[in-house]
Amino acid sequence: MKDVASLHQEEFGKPPQVVTAAPGVVDIMGEHTEHTGGFALPFAIDRYLYVAVSRREDTSLRFYAADFKERKRTSIANIKYKREDRWANYIKGVIVAFLQEGHPIRGLDITISGTVPPSIGLASSAALTVAAAVAVKTLYGLSIPDRRIIDFARGAETDFMELETGAIDTFTSCLSRPRQAMFIDTKYLEYRYVPLNMKDVKFLITDSQVPRSLGDGEFVQRWEDCERCIALLSRRRPGSTLRDFTAKDIRESIGILPENVRRRCLHIVEENARVREAEEILRKNGDLATLGKLLNRSHESLRDLFEVSCPELDWLVKRSWETEGVLGSRLTGTGFGGCTITLIRESAVPEYEKRLEEYERIFGFKAVSFVCEASGGVRVL
């Protein structure tokens, strides 16, 4: 595979002036907690989105996605969201953020390439926007703190593209450290680093190859359910987010909350507790067997309470649990397709991968797995 600098040279006839790399992200724990100001425990993976950029003499913007062999173009004066521009909109949104802050951005040639699989819950879009933001900042020699870079990257999705997305992925892709996870308090956007002493145990990502089958409306309904739960519970005692309540509060709300609302909010409350417990495990004794059990409980909760799993993900998780050497497994990302994260002894990986052959015979999808290490955040190459 050619590096992004060579691809840029071939496409635009000149070498890039700046090349950046930003990692994808996976959650160890903390799925669907962010909307209600909860906690999460993600880490950056050692797969990256690369952005190469060079200046132009005019005000044109040329984009080249080398992996798709696709090209898009616009200009500074005409920059706007276009649905058909798909991946290029993320970069355009970043450029707009710089322009709105008064930075004198002009014409650019931009090439992207990467090893973060797109659309399976590994934060490929966050990696792209973070890499693009740091590339533009570096190209123009701008003094912009990391927090503003995170704002620019996230704003490309939330403001320019009007997508519902949180801050966890951009925070982690920008600020992560090697061999460490991040405990993120999403209510106050505070974070701290958590050591990952893995020894002979690895994190294994398995792409189910199942495209997400349900629309954003399913998630909007869940967020509305959580807000309704908070409103009803706060009548009994003060609280503005689900983190202000306990699992006991939710369980005692039978008759007050509709059952589906109660189940979904119970997942959030218990997942917040699992994030805290996982952090404590990693800090104190690195008991990865106990951490694996937390992953299992998280999946059961996502499946039975929050209801975002699917038969393919459940099959992958169940077969993982049956494989000797697997400590725990669960779906990761939004659900309804996407991938699983498995805590597995390195010696057990071949047996695990062998079992994936049965998955293809049953479901008709060829699952793809890979081991990942905890990586550092965005960097200039």
pLDDT (0 to 100) of residue 214: 55
Judge whether 10 lies within some domain: yes
What is the pLDDT confidence band of residue 232, given thresholds at 50, 70 and 90? confident
Q: How far apart are the first and last CA of the chain?
A: 17
Contact 337, 212 (CB under 8 A): yes
Distance of alpha carbon 133 from alpha carbon 196, whole angstroms: 28
Whether the pLDDT of residue 200 is over 90: the answer is yes
Identify whether 192 is part of a domain: yes
Specify the pLDDT at position 1: 52
- Give the mean pLDDT of 263-284: 95
Per the annotation, the verdict on 169 as an active-site residue is: yes
Structural domain including 149 reads 4-197
Residue 370 lies in a domain: no
Task: Say if CB 340 and CB 208 are below 8 A apart.
Answer: yes
**Does residue 260 lie within any of the structural domains?**
no
Please tell me which residue in 169, 207, 225, 249 is annotated as part of the active site.
169
Whether residue 87 is predicted with pLDDT greater than 60 in this model: the reply is: yes
Would the pLDDT of 222 be above 90? no
How do the residues of the chain divide into helix, strand and coil, expressed in percent and rounded to 5? 45, 25, 35
What digits encode the pLDDT tens for the residues 41-51? 999 999 999 99
- Residues 69-83, mean pLDDT to the nearest whole number: 96
Question: For residue 165, is pLDDT > 90?
Answer: no
Is residue 22 scored above 90 in pLDDT?
Answer: yes
Evaluate whether residue 181 is within a structural domain. Answer: yes
Please state the rounded mean pLDDT for residues 95-113. 96
pLDDT cut 70: percent of the chain above it? 98
Q: Is residue 8 part of a domain?
A: yes
Q: In the chain, pLDDT over 90 holds for what percent of residues? A: 81
CATH classification at residue 107:
3.30.230.10
In a domain, 373, yes or no: no
Q: Does the structure show a pLDDT above 60 at 167?
A: yes
Within a domain: 296: no
User: 């909860």: which residue's tokens?
Assistant: 38
